[in-house]
Amino acid sequence: MRKILKNIDKPLLIISCILFIFGLIMIFSASNVTAFMKYDASPYRYFFKQSLFLMVSFIASIFLIRFHSKSYHIIANFAVYVVGATLALLLIYGSVRNRAISWIDLGFFSIQPSEFAKIIMIVWLSCYYDKHKDRLNQYVTVLYPILIAAVIAGLIFAQPDLGTTIIYTFIVAVIFFIAPISKEIRNKVLMIIIGGILVAALVLVGGGSSLLTEGQKERFDFSNPCSTEKFYGTGNQVCNGYIAINNGSFLGVGLGNSTQKYLYLPEAHTDFIFAIIMEELGYLGAIIIFVLYYLLIGRIIKIGRDSYNTRGFLICMGVAVYIILHIFVNLGGIFGVIPMTGVPLPFMSYGGSFAMCLVFALTFVQRINVENQLYKETKLKKLRKK
């Protein structure tokens, strides 16, 4: 364990801890009113639950980081089929929340299998393409994992969970296109994807919108949320988010002093927590968070580029894309640039499943960094012997 502690990436660890601690503070600030007024519970309800999830995740990560990434393919092979079966069973036995069957209710807490599907797929694809790197010019070898990924994407979409489906699909696509696959196969797949997108667009325009639920159709109508027609309907959350952001100005109204969290924003501690952050800490607080995100993602990408094998490179890039997409989709919805899809903001939003996945993802990156450093030490020793 001493070797592991010595070789973990200290800047990444420090930035991660700062973001998690800051997120906990903001979850408490954004959720205490909702917990007390809406659920007649302790103001610390969501703070304690999120802290518990993080504590369990950190303890699990201490054991997880001990395993060499070579062994990931064994666990990932099993996990990818388990998560697929779970998602299928979820459509029959799952709990409905926000018009989606995305949750397994375990009493004290619920878990969201589709969140775990993202991180499991990152590890599985990375290990698969590394293991078969000498056969990535064969169609069957290259496209088999894409077929499995497509089935899982279909199960997530059927819940229906459009936001998670989009992020999951982009992660799979990025890993596919940066993996050392033959140029011929990559180009053909790209043409098929472009053709598929065009066909899907034509189907939707031609009346195929029946494939989407009413809730999904409403989310696509995201322009001008503060209009008279939308303020008390589909635009209510986004418009109240605008009010929170406007209230904050540059320095904010002060930590804990948000007015929009008084049930004006029903998801203040989850999807719309960034609006509360900007109200309480202003543009300055937002800038600090963006800087921390930039430094965090930069460290992850650097570790990936320094990796001595395909597996480590793909895992790190997959995790970087995973975090970037969550930031983009969440903030894009809050600012009204894209439809609101209910995607959590990394480190900030309340959510046990996502918090656990984020800790595990960062643990995988740290393990890759440990292996990179040990590999360099081994090479130096060999050079000195010569």
Across the range 248-258, mean pLDDT stands at 89
Q: Residue 208 above 60 pLDDT?
A: no
Residue 258 pLDDT greater than 60, yes or no: yes
At residue 16 the predicted structure's pLDDT band, cuts being 50, 70 and 90, is very high
Confidence class of residue 302 from pLDDT cuts 50, 70 and 90? very high
Kindly tell me if the per-residue pLDDT of 205 is higher than 80: no
What average pLDDT does the segment 176-189 reach?
A: 88
pLDDT at 342 over 70: yes
Higher pLDDT, 346 or 42: 346
Q: Please say whether the dihedral angle defined by the alpha carbons of residues 174, 176, 181 and 182, taken in this order, is positive or negative.
A: negative
What is the arithmetic mean of pLDDT over 37-62?
A: 89
Q: Percentage of the chain with pLDDT > 90?
A: 45
In this predicted structure, the answer to whether residue 227 has a pLDDT above a threshold of 90 is no
Residue 359 — very low, low, confident or very high, per pLDDT cuts 50/70/90? very high
User: Which residues fall within 8 angstroms of residue 329, CB to CB, at 6 or more apart?
Assistant: 163, 166, 167, 338, 341, 343
Give the pLDDT of residue 341: 77
The mean pLDDT value of the chain amounts to 86
Rounded Cα gap, residues 338 and 325, in angstroms: 13
Q: Which residue has the higher pLDDT, 5 or 52?
A: 52
Residues 113-153 pLDDT 10s: 889 999 999 999 999 999 998 888 888 888 999 999 999 99
Q: Is the pLDDT of residue 381 over 80?
A: no
Q: Which residue has the higher pLDDT, 220 or 90?
A: 90
Considering only 42-51, 152-161, 320-329, 333-342, which range has the smallest mean pLDDT?
Answer: 333-342
Nearest to 164 by CA among 201, 116, 94: 116
> Cα(380)–Cα(386) distance, rounded to whole angstroms?
10
Q: What is the pTM of this model?
A: 0.90
* Token pair in block for residue 333: 């919805």
pLDDT tens profile 231-246: 666 677 788 888 888 8
Lowest mean pLDDT: which of 238-242, 316-320, 360-364?
238-242
More confident position, 340 or 252: 252
Is the pLDDT assigned to residue 213 strictly greater than 80? no
- pLDDT band at 379, cuts 50/70/90? confident
Q: Of the given ranges (242-246, 275-279, 291-295, 303-307), which has the lowest mean pLDDT? A: 242-246
More confident residue, 378 or 205: 378
Structure tokens at 320: 């970087």
Compute the average pLDDT of residues 190-205.
Answer: 76
Identify the pLDDT of residue 219.
56
